[in-house]
Structure 1
């Protein structure tokens, strides 16, 4: 009796996702932590690869941006750098702009990089199994290294201004909220990036709008101007921008002057968690069959 000839399908293993719609898979991410570290190293190294100055660009870029903001928005346009009517001249404009710049740079960098998660890594995801969430997590972590360098630079300049007495400000007890601000921006940027990445698997045109959208968003955030520039009738809507309370809290923590609202900050955190939940559900749904559309 002849044995049946094995068919190609007999040697084919089909990998399917059995995840629930809302599943963070933190345990699986921890098991693949070595891979996450490799992705972090890959992203950070490739970002400055074949550049003469290397990671020094993490310092140079925000410095140049801060100088441009100081000259154009501060000296030429004369835009206010006050977040409160009682703090008109307490904070040097250079420090004011730098505080907003480093936070916005981190946020926009993570959104921009994460928004291409599926398309940019389809060649890997189609061949090897690993928790797909490792990619956006590693992207946020690698950019966090650059942010850490920029934060150290900001603290050094801050300390010089404080020691020389060239500015009148002091740390506030809200400095303890700074780690929470950083965590919030990391989660918020990941959430927006994952949502965009999930949608671009079907609607590629969205990828072309990310840069433009982030540019408009920056103008709607107090990065290059103070909060007092916003009319009272628009203030509530303006503070509903989840990035705005984060930047205002960061500046208030370091300068001891400005604007801080616990209500709007908690609301900002609530919006961040809601967006995170939506992004995870959308990510898990698209992950199951995104290779058919990429």
Structure 2
């Protein structure tokens, strides 16, 4: 819109530029569109459970059944160590952390494909959409965390012989661990969604790949039970130290060190920056290739 100031000079209150720098992410626009972010979070929650019978109860059902299956298969049949913890607590802690990371990754990895109609019609900072996925997944994570706390309370009053657990001071790192899970899933998802705009068949590998990655993380086995010659490879996975620290914080068992957390922080930030840059580059012309 053309306006005049007191000196009768003309100026524009909106300038549309055809070419922008790769590093021009426009973080200020993300803040200006924060109301849209909240609207997308509400939309994701309502639309996903609106036509379901049990609604948000699925937040509880999925981790409960997964924990029971893991306890039977890996705990009872395979006799895999639970690091001196009740098997149900051991698996549920790993599942709770892993589910949040994997949900952020898988849902972000299809954001271009799933929202092509919206992206092609109206302007808003495209990063708003993947950010809304990360925030909306926090609701599910919070419910599953509550389930973990309730199970901890149960085993506190009805302990299993030969097992023990306790909350320790490392729980102060809990907000950092949640942030790392969110940002790592977001960064990887941004990279994948940029790639799949051109190579669409790669979307079929996402779920399978995430499932395989879970077995390369200490979700179903403790780091202490891994042979020394393989341990270093498992530790290369940044989610390993996050899940180990998560268990150590709430249950008092697991391998926790500032070096391992520092490694996860560096990998997460590197992946996030790379993901944002690739996403920023792809969003400028993805409508032509989607």
TM-score normalised by length of structure 2: 0.91
SS in 1 for 2:65: helix
Structure 1: runs of 5+ lacking an equivalent? 1-13, 83-88
Alignment match, 1:288: 284
Moved more, 25-34 or 35-44: 25-34
Instruction: Choose the corresponding residue for 1:223, options 196, 215, 219.
Output: 219
Query: Is structure 2 residue 97 aligned with structure 1 residue 103?
Result: yes
Residue aligning to 1:7: none
Quote the Cα distance in structure 1 between the aligned partners of 2:39 and 2:19: 26
1:233-271 CA deviation, whole Å, 9 max, x = no partner?
Answer: 121221110110000000001112221122111101100
Matched, 1:237 2:237: no
**Does residue 142 of structure 2 align to residue 148 of structure 1?**
yes
Partners of 1:204 and 1:62 in 2: CA distance? 30
Question: Structure 2 unaligned runs (5+)?
Answer: 1-14
SS in 2 for 1:69: helix
Aligned to 1:51: 52
Distance (whole Å) between structure 1 residues aligned to residue 158 and residue 127 of structure 2: 46
Residue 112 (structure 1) aligns with: 106
Rounded to whole Å, the distance in 2 between the matches of 1:21 and 1:231 is 44
How far did 1:286 drift? 0.4
CA distance in structure 2 between the aligned counterparts of 1:111 and 1:157, rounded to whole angstroms = 27
Whole-Å separation in 1 of the counterparts to 2:86 and 2:194: 42
- Matched residue of 2:181: which SS? helix
1:88-237 to structure 2, matched below 5 A, reads 89=84, 91-166=85-160, 167-237=163-233
Native 8 Å contact 2:224 2:255 kept in 1: no
Shift of 1:110: 1.4
Q: Measure how far apart 1:158 and its partner are.
A: 1.0
Determine helix, strand or coil for the equivalent of 2:164. coil
**Counterparts of 1:125 and 1:76, CA distance in 2:** 49
Higher relative contact order (CA 8 A, sep 6+): 1
Matched residue count: 275
- Flag the 1:211–1:16 CA change in 2: closer, same or farther, 3 A: farther
CA RMSD of aligned residues (A): 1.7
- Structure 1 pair 176–19 and aligned structure 2 pair: CA distance change class (3 A): farther
Aligned mates of 1:293, 1:15 — CA distance in 2 = 22
8 Å Cα contact 1:252-1:258 kept in structure 2:
yes
Taking structure 1 as reference, are residues 17 and 222 closer, same or farther at Cα in structure 2, changes over 3 Å only? farther
